[in-house]
Structure 1
Amino acid sequence: MRENVRLPSAELQGRWWTWAASEPEATNPVADTDGSACGRNQPHDVWFLAGTFGGQVKRACEVPGGRPVAAPVINFVGDRQDCATFMRTTQGTVLLDGKTVEPETYSGDSITVQSTQGNPVTEEVGRFTATGCGLWVQLPSLAPGTHSLKIRGRSGDFSIGVDYVLTVAASSI
């Protein structure tokens, strides 16, 4: 993914869920409480960030220069009916360096996920098709230096909050 190219919603969600379901709980980026698992299994063309299983965390993460960043504000994977229910009360905010970034709404896309045994993210193991939905942000590659990214999401009584300190390296391109 080049700097200003955005992934289609179904591709973004399928790739993100596969990334999130590729690690056991001890090294899973969604279960991460400080950012130490941020770099696990990152693809070469985009840098994924994770939410939480509920609640709030603060993470510090080093991001390679020249990579766009993508993250769910709040998301869900299940069937079409579950996504419709989830999206009825979904809301979220994103602040990048104190400036509002409008999340995109993905109401329900058919996605393909590949998950690893023992991951805490999906109930299914192996390759499966489901419906993905939620609020998402796709950011072009960030300038080298330190950035603050604050993500808040809610659906019903489930809420997440992640405060990221992103240190972006100078691009090697």
Structure 2
Amino acid sequence: MNEAIPDGSWQVEPRVGGALAGRWWQWALSAPEELSPVRDETGEHAAWNQPDDLWFLAGTYGGKVTRTCAIPADRPVFFPVFNIQTVRGRLDQEPPRMPIARAEAWLNGLPLQLTQFSGQFALGAERRHTWGLWGALAPLHPGEYVLEIKADTGRGFRVDTTYHLTASTD
């Protein structure tokens, strides 16, 4: 069962989370470089090719990024804190993982639950593995929100992302 918990997080079952992680990668990797929500530093490409049943927020390639974007108030939100993908080798091969020294996310200052998911997805004819530490939000009420994501591998790779979100019904 997938349900909202008091901090606004959306509790996602492992099987569903692995499938969502794969869908996120298909979405992120299908964007042309000039429209890539992951490369975008302002949020101007956040709405690129979003699915109808949820809203993906882009990760980053590390560093500090501040994005501003509008999101629909009636859809759950799914986003990476850390994630990685690779071409699948043997069927029993585990996906690569990133070390986690720190990983936190807050919505309007309230800490969010983060969950590790791994899964598989197709990119063209290639089968791929994915692993990540993900956050998920239940549909937000119309209004303004600040989502902060801070993470560190302890080996020099850091994420410091701030999203200024406007949830609306239009």
TM-score range, shorter chain: 0.7 to 0.9
C-alpha spacing 1:3/1:44, structure 2 compared with 1 (3 Å): farther
1:76 matched residue in structure 2: 84
CA contact (8 A) 1:3 1:66 kept: no
Which of 112, 121, 135 lines up with 1:112 in the alignment?
121
Letter in 2 for 1:154: D
RMSD: 2.1
Q: In structure 2, how many angstroms separate the alpha carbons of the residues matched to 1:90 and 1:105?
A: 14
CA offsets 1:78-106 (integer angstroms, 9 cap, x no match): 2555614x2x4353100100000021122
2:7 matched residue in structure 1: none
Alignment TM-score, normalising by the size of structure 2: 0.82
- How far 1:9 moved relative to its partner? 1.9
Q: Is structure 2 residue 61 aligned with structure 1 residue 53?
A: yes
- How far 1:72 moved relative to its partner? 0.4
Query: Alignment identity in percent?
Result: 34
Q: In structure 1, how many angstroms separate the alpha carbons of the residues matched to 2:127 and 2:134?
A: 20
CA contact (8 A) 2:41 2:67 kept: yes
1:138 matched residue in structure 2: 136
Q: In structure 1, how many angstroms separate the alpha carbons of the residues matched to 2:125 and 2:26?
A: 9
Gaps of 5+ in 2: 5-9
C-alpha spacing 1:77/1:163, structure 2 compared with 1 (3 Å): same
Letter in 2 for 1:140: A
Aligned residues: 155
Letter in 2 for 1:15: R
CA contact (8 A) 1:51 1:161 kept: no
Alignment TM-score, normalising by the size of structure 1: 0.81
CA contact (8 A) 1:105 1:136 kept: yes
Which portions of structure 1, spanning 4 or more consecutive aligned residues, are displaced by more than 3 angstroms? 2-7, 79-82, 88-91
CA contact (8 A) 2:54 2:76 kept: yes
CA contact (8 A) 1:15 1:113 kept: no
Q: In structure 2, how many angstroms separate the alpha carbons of the residues matched to 1:99 and 1:19?
A: 28
Letter in 1 for 2:128: A
Q: In structure 2, how many angstroms separate the alpha carbons of the residues matched to 1:91 and 1:130?
A: 26
- How far 1:21 moved relative to its partner? 0.7
Letter in 2 for 1:43: P
